[in-house]
Structure 1
Amino acid sequence: MDGIADMGGTQGWGRVHPPDREERVFAEDWQRKAFALAILSSRVACGGVNTDAFRHALERLDRAAYLDDGYFGRWLNGGELMLTEHSVLAPGAVEARARNLRGEDVEEPPVPEPDLPRYAPTAEGSLRSVATSPAFGVGERVRARNTSVPGHTRLPRYVRGHSGVVEIIQPAHVLPDTNAHFMGENPQYVYSVRFDSRELWGADAEPFTVTVDMYESYLETTA
């Protein structure tokens, strides 16, 4: 889906400032707790580890929840969304608890009956084996499909409909598009595809190349 998380290639976000090497991972103590709660929330809501489902939760946050609350606030918001969707938390439960902790007298919604997905990965990690041969070869010119799906995808919006060259064929990986929705792992080969900047952003773009890892179903042959 084309949500706030699909920011690659867009303009107007300002200069990228690399972090100081001495910068702490968690600048404030609450960030450490938010990180742990987000990881735990994701595992509880998914019935196990499903990074794709968690990413899908993040990309469905609104602009404020994704940007204004910062990186670790975003993770916390994503974990809360997953817990609410799978009825581990009642809608409004976190807000009600926070208001009560501030001294307000607010009735908290009752704890619902959880509706957890039946999820069982076939192996650890995301690497899988497939019986078929790769559909594309190294050096082959391919085009990223110009499609926008309503659910989760790792196909960046800025490469859709543009052509590049396959540089590397990687082993098959679990397909995020289906795994995020608990619809099966559907493993596919992954291709490192090199794009020219002028192909992506026009003739006036500064000349450089961008390499994007793309699942087989994201690609098609060029005419």
Structure 2
Amino acid sequence: MSRVHDMGGRFGDGAIQPEPQGIPQLGDWQARALALTLASGSLGKWNIDVSRHARECLSPKDYARFSYFEKWIAGLADLLVQTGVLTLEDLQGRDGDAPHPLAYKVLKPEAVSGVLAKGGPADRPCDVLVQFAPGDVVKTRHPGGNAMVSGGHTRLPAYAIGARGQIVQLHGTHVLPDSNAHGLGESPEPIYAVAFAASELWVNPEHPGDEVVLDLWQSYLEPA
């Protein structure tokens, strides 16, 4: 199944038009969207992989027409209802004035900088043996997609499925998004930086000498 958000190397979407003035500054509503998303995440009802998958699950029509932060807000609204934090009536402003049961978890303004500085490290110890070393030639699995959940979240982009590359670096062992996004546990495994020639990824690359380096989990890879 084609995933609407997996746009890399896809034909028909038109040329990328960079912002003439560089990265635009966030307006008031975009800043609020970012703040709401981070504050809601602090409730502990989902993890970053679940939130990414929620945005991927937006309808193709909405995904195509929404801006970046509109996707964030739409995915957040879905998550809040799916996890029982809010109801549709709450989102429509038809809730009562009683304190929310999760009000005690509110992220106080004075705590924000500390929370952001701490981040959300995804490195974990694991018992999975490291299979590859820098210099090894590998290929990504084919078919691609999530091997655990049909149509589920994965960090293996469609344009790299079945491609040959070379291991550049072992990053350690990290939470596997394919599992973590679906409540199946963190399932940490080794993750590698893998270099792919542009000519390996695309039939007619504009610059054949270019290369793309992707961070890929071990279960995405096999010996070439």
Provide TM-score, normalisation by structure 2. Answer: 0.77
Cα-to-partner distance string for 1:26-81 (whole Å, 9 max, x where unaligned): 1x31222122122233343x436x11111010111112332322111110001001
Q: Within 2, Cα distance between the matches of 1:21 and 1:195?
A: 28
Residues 62-141 of structure 1: pairs in structure 2 closer than 5 A? 62-91=59-88, 93-94=90-91, 96-97=92-93, 108=94, 125-141=121-137
Q: How many angstroms does 1:219 deviate by? A: 0.4
Contact 2:128 2:189 in 1 (8 A): no
Cα-to-partner distance string for 1:136-182 (whole Å, 9 max, x where unaligned): 12111111011333211111111111111111111111111111122
Residue identity over aligned pairs, in percent, reads 36
Alignment match, 2:212: 210
Are the structure 2 counterparts of residues 86 and 71 from structure 1 closer, same or farther at C-alpha, using a change threshold of 3 Å?
same
Q: Within 2, Cα distance between the matches of 1:180 and 1:127?
A: 16
SS at match of 1:87: coil
Alignment match, 1:105: none
The CA RMSD over aligned residues, in Å, is 2.7
**Count of paired positions:** 197
- The one-letter amino acid paired with 1:33 is R
Contact 2:171 2:191 in 1 (8 A): yes
Alignment match, 1:103: none
Provide TM-score, normalisation by structure 1. Answer: 0.77
Of 126, 139, 142, 1:143 maps to 139
Q: How many angstroms does 1:85 deviate by? A: 1.1
SS at match of 1:184: coil
Alignment match, 2:116: none
Residue 60 (str. 1) matches residue 57 (str. 2): yes
Q: Return 5+ residue gaps in structure 1 as ranges.
A: 98-107, 115-123
